[in-house]
A and B are shown apart, each in its own frame.
Chain A
Amino acid sequence: MRNRYSLFSLVRNGLSHNEKWGRAWHSPEPKREYDVVIVGAGGHGLATAYYLAKVHGIRNIAVVEKGWLGGGNTARNTTIVRSNYLWDESAQLYEKAMQLWEGLSQDLNYNVMFSQRGVMNLAHTLQEVRDTQRRINANLYNGVDGEWLSREQIRQQVPLINLDSRYPVLGASFQRRGGVARHDAVAWGFARAADQLGVDIIQNCPVTHIRKKDGAIEGVETGKGFIRAKKVAVVAAGHSSVIADMAGIRLPLESHPLQALVSEPVKPAINTVIMSNAVHAYISQSDKGDLVIGAGIDQYTGYGQRGSFQSIEHTLQAIVEMFPSLSRVRMNRQWGGIVDICPDACPIISKTAIKGLYFNCGWGTGGFKATPGSGWVFAHTIANDEPHPLNAPFSIDRFYSGHLIDEHGAAAVAH
């Protein structure tokens, strides 16, 4: 591999004052034709390209991106990774992703700073205790780790937390293999690894139309001209409905703003990820020291990459409820991403009625954790024109058959 990062390359480049590090990826002009064109160079799109090239040997791939790579939701989430979903279909999909996360930095030769510091889901009511314990048991049956923490065990892990607030904490589930990863590095790592396998990553290249003929895909019209493609795979997150509209198909998605915040950096205070569905917020602390905070979506649909102040206020009320000692920490930055919400809060990873057109969307507020797994199963779906058993239940057909995967709330968190 060209430019392989290692201790040796670190020393060698250090001796030349770090001026000879090569570019991590090229910025080629598009060719006229590709085997596969992927729309959207976020984490999921780049992971799809990488696994197509690496696992399925398809190298003639372009990833077209209207902005810059990793500039959408990949860099707008709260970086949480976990796989403790209730239902078999989702637990197995997210667990596949978790297994890929565990070897991802080595596989990509890029440090994605995956840190398995654990993910804690608090239970505040008797019903939540029962639901959480049921989910832990379901997780164990699916080979996903999980354990129940008593109040005393929570206190030992997170001394800052206020367990006797208005909605007292009665216990929590804990997935020790869960944690966080550096989201930019995930996009960059997949981009670099895909680029080295010959994938063309074309930025500043919006797709303006999907061209099809006799029910099969022909290619995409873009800001840089027409690109012919045997297969087109759309991974456009919040803008999936817009691309679907170009192809004349309907999706069950609604795009909402989802906001998140980081505080000023503070000394290490929170060594795990803490999520609460009842008071509705989640928090972790980055390696830099800032508290990374998120909660629920804004109620209205929109593409503005910003939301309303009342959502931020709700989020911070919940955080202060759990951690009164943080009440005077100042927030540094706040932003919004546009998330594509599915009626059953589960993704669509699917073929469509148009031959050669594939969609991977509907991840809503929980897509980051699935990035490698999503790319892995989607690459399989594209290469074989058939879904992998892991993503077969996530077909668009489920909205016509009625076989929804009802993860709303079932995962014990707002995704």
Chain B
Amino acid sequence: MLVIRCPWCGERAESEFNYGGEAGIARPAHPEQLSDEQWGDYLFMRKNPLGLHREQWVHTHGCRRWFVAQRDTRNYTFTSTEPLAAANKEQA
């Protein structure tokens, strides 16, 4: 089982968390202007990298807050976790 550091609650067992997929996928501001390719890309296409992955988790059985983690998909080691707001600000 993974040990995950929640930015608010500290290190907890994986069973308290739920995975939320790739981070940083912003919903397009004007979906009606997108081509089918762009819309399909937004909805379905994923990086799924071998190596560092930025992803979302939620501390379901704890503070119930979402956060963004960076994790190596080869050995499952977390390199960082940070609140969603901070991660989004960084990206913007």
- Interface of A with B (CB < 8 Å)? 239, 241-242, 245, 250-255, 299-304, 308-310, 343, 399-402
Quick check: A301 and B15 within 8 Å, CB to CB?
no
Quick check: B14 and A301 within 8 Å, CB to CB?
no
B24 smallest CB distance to A (angstroms):
15
Quick check: A303 and B46 within 8 Å, CB to CB?
no
List 8 A–B pairs whose Cβ atoms lie within 8 Å, in order of A's numbering. A241-B50, A251-B45, A252-B44, A300-B55, A300-B76, A302-B76, A310-B1, A310-B14
B54 smallest CB distance to A (angstroms):
11
Quick check: A255 and B18 within 8 Å, CB to CB?
no
Q: Given A303-B74, A400-B37, do A241 and B48 touch, yes or no (CB 8 Å)? A: yes
- A401: chain B residues at CB < 8 Å are 36
Quick check: B46 and A399 within 8 Å, CB to CB?
no
Quick check: A304 and B75 within 8 Å, CB to CB?
yes
Number of interface residues of B (CB under 8 A): 28
Residues 4-43 of chain B, each 1 if its beta carbon lies under 8 Å from chain A, else 0? 0000000000110011011000000000000011011101
Which residue of chain A lies nearest to B53 when distances are taken between CB atoms in the complex?
A301
Which residue of chain A lies nearest to B71 when distances are taken between CB atoms in the complex?
A300
Q: Given A254-B21, A310-B1, do A304 and B73 touch, yes or no (CB 8 Å)? A: yes
B55 smallest CB distance to A (angstroms):
7
B85 within 8 A of partner (CB) = no
Which residue of chain B lies nearest to A300 when distances are taken between CB atoms in the complex?
B19
A281 smallest CB distance to B (angstroms):
18
Quick check: A304 and B15 within 8 Å, CB to CB?
no
Quick check: B76 and A304 within 8 Å, CB to CB?
yes
Q: Given A302-B73, A303-B73, do A241 and B55 touch, yes or no (CB 8 Å)? A: no
Q: Which of A239, A251, A301, A309 has the most CB of B within 10 A?
A: A301
Quick check: A308 and B45 within 8 Å, CB to CB?
no
Q: Given A250-B41, A303-B74, A400-B40, do A308 and B1 touch, yes or no (CB 8 Å)? A: yes
Quick check: A301 and B48 within 8 Å, CB to CB?
yes
Q: Which 3 A-B pairs have the closest CB atoms?
A: A252-B44, A241-B48, A400-B40
- B46: chain A residues at CB < 8 Å are 241, 250-254
Quick check: B45 and A299 within 8 Å, CB to CB?
no
- B40: chain A residues at CB < 8 Å are 399-400, 402
Quick check: B73 and A299 within 8 Å, CB to CB?
no
Which residue of chain A lies nearest to B21 when distances are taken between CB atoms in the complex?
A254
- B15: chain A residues at CB < 8 Å are 310
Q: Given A310-B14, A399-B40, A400-B37, do A301 and B50 touch, yes or no (CB 8 Å)? A: no
- A253: chain B residues at CB < 8 Å are 46, 48
Which residue of chain B lies nearest to A401 when distances are taken between CB atoms in the complex?
B36
B5 smallest CB distance to A (angstroms):
15
